[in-house]
Amino acid sequence: MSSLSSVRAFVRPATPSFSIGRAVALLAGAVAVGIETVMSRAELARSRRQLAQLDERLLRDIGLDRMSARQEASKGYWL
């Protein structure tokens, strides 16, 4: 290999790190994570509403008392 060809290889511009395909993949991943987060928060809110509606017998079955169930049910969906 001559010194001129090694200089050309060194100076050659690198391929761009940005591509439309990569940007679309990153955006799709971000949207998927966002949807998953919203769905899991909605499920958490639904579970807490159901917990608030359980009677004493069912709460005893899962090892909770009424006060603990109320505390958990009163938490927001973001916690």
How is 50-70 classified by DSSP, letter by letter?
HHHT--HHHHHHTT--HHHHH
Across the range 2-6, mean pLDDT stands at: 58
Separation CA 57–CA 73 (nearest Å): 17
Q: What is the pLDDT of residue 15?
A: 61
The string of pLDDT tens digits covering residues 14-48 is 566 678 889 999 999 999 999 999 999 999 999 99
Separation CA 40–CA 27 (nearest Å): 20
* Domain range annotation of the chain: 44-79
Taking phi over 0 as left and psi of -120 to 50 as alpha, with beta for the rest, 75 belongs to beta
pTM of the model: 0.62
